[in-house]
Chain A
Amino acid sequence: MSGWAGRAPPKKGENYELRADLNSEYRDKRKDAIKRVIANMTVGKDVSGLFPDVLKNMQTEDLEQKKLVYLYLMNYAKTQPELVILAVNTFVKDTADSNPLVRALAIRTMGCLRAEKIINYLCDPLQQCLRDDNPYVRKTAALCVAKLYDLKPELAIDNGFIEQLQDLVSDSNPMVVANAVVALTDIHQTALAAAESENPPDPRATFTLDSHILNKLLIALNECSEWGRVAILSSLARYRAVDEKESEHICERVVPQFQHVNGSVVLSAIKVVMIHMRGVGREDLVKQLVRKMAPPLVTLVSSEPEVQWVALRNINLLLQKRSDILQNEMRVFFCKYNDPPYVKVEKLDIMVRLAQEKNVDTLLSELKEYASEVDVDFVRKSIKAIGQCAIKIDSSAERCVNVLLELISTRVSYVVQEAVVVIKDIFRKYPDRYEGVIPTLCANLEELDEPEAKASLIWIIGEYADKIENADELLAIFVETFTEEAYQVQLQTLTAVVKLFLKKPDSAQGVVQRVLETATKDCDSPDVRDRAYIYWRLLSTDPGAAKAVVLAVRPPISLPRTTVSPAVLEELLGEISSLASVYHKPADTFIGRGRVGADALQKRIHDLEDDVSREKALKTVVAGQKSENLLDFDDAPAEGAGGLGVTTNSLAATTLTTGASAITTSNPLDDLVELFGSSGMGAPAAAPSFAQPAAFGSAFSAPPALASTPSPAPIPSASSAQQPQDDLLGLF
């Protein structure tokens, strides 16, 4: 018993005791010892030294003990391949056992051993098990082929296992069909992934769907287990229908799955219908399909919070394509007091999407209710949603403004600040309509301490400088503290003072002089300095041109209907229920296969040069890769980085936060804000009225705000900002 692989066993300690027990003459003691070994393995202790002793207990009639030994083997086979060979005999014997459970267990475990040496012994038993007359063994063997392919593709191909899998698709047992489909799909994807780096994928490894297989799948769909249904539905989603009739047929056969109790079956069915509906021409059928989709979606909203969240993210996508799906169902999305925050935020977004003239009143009273909750983030988002309603529905704007005024009267700091930002947006959409509220806003001047809120109020003051009597006094307050303010507040102050001067040249002479001097001399942001110089020069050479630039008519703002570009939206709708659909980002953006994946993506970006979101995607992948490499930090010692663990934490943490912000920026209001911050300037009220200087600023310097990648949505806004820029170019 001593000295396997030339290692002397320790004389004391836990492993020593375990070794003794593993070799005990009593069966119970041995079994108990195995359990303790597994427990140690779970908590991360190294028990690989006990390999030979555990192995001795493999040959047993006790199925539970056998499973435990197998579990141990799976764990350490990779590090001790030479010892695993000793187990091969028992495995091969077990695959011919009279008990089908033992046969299945043996073949399942052999596939998981992942040791090169044992693989060669796997082929014969696998061959047998694929033809076993027990379906339980066949379905297990089917998956084993995928395991084999993952480890040694050529072995799986040469032995004809893949052809055998294709035969299993026609098996009489639906569970076997499902697993065969799963295995073929997995092999197909592995082959595709491998092909990206070298040559085209091996045709023998690809899973081509034809109408013959389609029929098999549609039949198995109604009979197999819930997970099998998801697998089959995923394959149906890949199938390309030959004609309209076939598309209709698929939709009709898949629709009954909407009634399944498992949410992932429902979402997968919706995915298939969304895809194949593209091929359906009959309007009435499309209408009918969309109508049938609504109730199951609503039902998903009352499932467990995590499933609910996935459903909500997907509903958000579906609404961007078909805003009519849940027209009358807004109440379902009302937030419960005890909903988790991530669910609440998503519900808010969906409610705004569903807002219409007829239901906006209910929505507003609901949003007002939310604004008194304790979760600051949620309160802010609720207030933003009020602004979104105002911008979306003209007739509701007045009611929205009234609600906002009520909220301001609560004098809760963050509520007031957010409300000010939102009202600024409403002013952008409906200029000169709600000037009456300006005194209330100005009364709260001292409450504001956040840059965005300050900047918004300053923008409002500058914009209505001719109508606010004491505008010069108010702005003077900010000029006083100019150097202490955040850059975006400085930029706004600068612009507002210039506006004031252009509107009331007599009273503002002094203040404009002062602000330009401070900005050019004492300010350390090149952005602010540049803008100040441009204003200065404009004002001194041609006040007329200054007027045209600074007081230009701004393009109207609107709520973007989609958060992603139409092409990406189509792609995501084909991925419903997947991670991509949850993140509203194409899969390539977060699933890079190391360097290779990024290269492949780069190539594809080349083809789609104009697609901005792709560009962004690449950045995410690159960022992801950094943490990717770090995630595998147990490889790191080879590179001689001792304290790597610590750096990993902080770096990975950054990825996490950027990930989170990427999700939140898909919120339309953020896009709206971005729209104000013309071409990614970051200053929310730096409206295109001075788009020209703004463009100069960002072209010459890299202010911190520019580093934050704009979300893909504001493409239309960027182009609208472009227009006045072009006009202005003519002036110079």
Chain B
Amino acid sequence: MISGFFIFNQKGEVLISRLYRTDLKRSIADVFRIQVVSNSDVRSPIVTLGSTSFFHVRVNNVYVLAVTKCNANAALVFEFCYRFIGIAKSYFGKLDEESVKNNFVLIYELIDEILDFGFPQNSEIDTLKMYITTEGVKSEMAVREESSKITLQATGNVSWRRSDVKYRKNEAFVDVVELVNLMMSSNGAVLRADVDGHIQMRAYLSGEPECKFGLNDKIMLEKSERGAGDSAVELDDCQFHQCVRLNKFDSERAISFIPPDGEFELMRYRSTSNVNLPLRVHPIVTEHGRSRVEYTIAVKANFDPKLAATDVVLRIPTPLNTTKVDVKVSHGKGKYVPGENHLTWKVPRLQGGSEMSLTAMAELTPTTNRQAWARPPIEVDFQVLMFTASGLLVRFLKVFEKSNYHSVKWVRYLTKAEGGTYQIRF
């Protein structure tokens, strides 16, 4: 499968190189540098030269590259690359040139463990952290005793959980986090609005707890034949952590599992119907001839007055030939960022039901460029705690364990938009 795994810096210098199969030579790194790193025309994440395929992912200032010589499973290779990036982040915070250089021994150890003969092996972060550690040597005896346990976990039926977990206080935290995707056209019509949700769980439960989890979603409610009413939420699709018994979900619509110890992502879901948009943005942007652009932007917080949106940031694009911008805002701070060609409007807190506005005038220099301004969309980032855009609620989380202990459960909801998921055209 994967014949070689590499990490390059921006200049195309090799930081990590590991060959898994004999069909490659180390010099393949030069080919990648010449063909991809220093070639600005590359528009595809896979480049095939002869029978050698280069799968690359760019993160921060490094390239993560997997090389194959066969008709490889492309989705698997990329999933693996991203898994590696995830593991690296979890081990040393951020994957960039500096951290790779500082941790190269650890990285070699990791990629030796998670990829054998080019086939991905167990890559559960929690399990890996048990025997690939950053703090170096442990006392030899302890290692020996523990390693048989580790190997059992790394391959066991419940490969994600140790068997001897013990807590004095049994707690489980459930975070429902929803990322809202919005695309609104210039005349205010919603082109696309959907929610990518994930349910993050932190389980501090002793023994082998058997958990059952229930939501107010339609498919599940139909099965239990409770009065669904109008509170039911329609989920288009959901995916589960490998601990969830998929066949049971398929047949009974029940989410049952033995959770890993600590933090993990229990479930991801997608919902497209009846999405409550927390922020309504009304932009009016008028171009006065070729010298000025006038902005009037109103934002309304469309949710319960008891709640508040925090860290609201609007990025409002300006034409490339803008010289200066006068900004007036009712809340927060508005600033023109010439390097990024936009205005940023930061509001630390916006109470539900309230409104805020911005007026600005951008002055332009004359230009010979005949093409009209492309008007990229306004992007909004925000967070609303204890609110779900899809309306999803956790109905129950039951924990069954042999010793029948009492457990405490906490649920938190968060709806957010970040990195350009919330776009409004004007």
Contacts and interface: CB of A to CB of B under 8 A. Distances in A.
Interface of A: 35, 38-39, 42-44, 61-64, 67-68, 71, 98-102, 104, 108, 111-112, 114, 134-137, 139-140, 143, 146-147, 150-151, 173-176, 179, 182, 186, 189, 222-223, 225-227, 230-231, 234, 253, 255-257, 259-264, 266-268, 295-296, 298-299, 302, 304-307, 309-311, 331-332, 334, 336-338, 341-342, 362, 365-366, 369, 372-374, 410-412, 575, 577-583, 587, 590-593, 597, 624-628, 630-634, 649, 652-653, 655-657, 659-660, 663
B21 to A, nearest CB: 8
B367 interface: no
B152 interface: yes
Nearest to A624: B50
Contacts of B150: 101, 136
Contacts of A234: 73
Interface string B259-281: 00000010010100000000000
B22 A114 contact: yes
Interface string B359-382: 000000000001110111100000
Contacts of A135: 151-152, 155-156
A182 B2 CA distance: 13
By CB atoms of chain B within 10 A, which of A35, A295, A304, A579 has the most? Answer: A579
B17 A341 contact: no
The 6 closest A-B pairs by CB, nearest first: A136-B151, A628-B50, A295-B237, A587-B71, A264-B76, A264-B75
Nearest to A580: B71
A260 B246 contact: yes
Contacts of B268: 261, 299
A230 B48 contact: no
11 contacts: A101-B147, A135-B156, A225-B122, A259-B239, A259-B250, A307-B75, A307-B79, A373-B374, A578-B74, A653-B39, A655-B50
A261 B242 contact: yes
B44 A342 contact: yes
A577 B75 contact: yes
A115 to B, nearest CB: 11
B109 A67 contact: yes
Given A590-B48, A632-B25, 17 more contacts: A38-B105, A42-B15, A63-B137, A134-B152, A136-B151, A139-B155, A150-B22, A173-B157, A227-B120, A259-B237, A261-B239, A299-B237, A307-B78, A412-B370, A578-B72, A649-B34, A655-B50
A10 B423 CA distance: 64
Interface stretch (B111-119, B283-291, B345-353): B111-119
Contacts of B196: 302
Interface string B10-45: 000111110011100111100100110001011111
Given A309-B45, A310-B78, A260 B239 contact: yes
Contacts of B165: none
Nearest to A133: B148
Contact of A42 (B14, B21, B236): B14
Interface in B28-72: 28, 31, 34-35, 39, 41-53, 55, 57, 68-72
If over half of B's interface residues share one DSSP class (helix, strand or loop), that class is named, otherwise mixed; here it is mixed
B238 interface: yes
Contacts of A366: 191
Contact of B375 (A262, A299, A372, A577): A372
A624 B51 CA distance: 7
B322 interface: no
Interface residues of B, number: 106
Contacts of A143: 116-117, 119
A659 B47 contact: yes
Interface string B181-197: 10101000001101010
B183 A231 contact: no
B137 A98 contact: no
Given A71-B112, A633-B27, A591 B78 contact: no
A579 B53 contact: yes
B423 A342 contact: no
A222 B248 CA distance: 11
B154 interface: yes
B218 interface: no
B108 interface: yes
B159 interface: yes
Contacts of A649: 34
Interface in B224-252: 236-242, 245-247, 249-250
Contacts of A227: 76, 80, 119-121, 123
A61 B140 contact: yes
Contacts of B374: 372-374
Contacts of B47: 656, 659
B375 A62 contact: no
A326 to B, nearest CB: 12
Given A42-B104, A255-B250, A372-B372, A625 B72 contact: no
B52 A579 contact: no
A653 B75 contact: no
A382 B44 CA distance: 18
A190 to B, nearest CB: 10
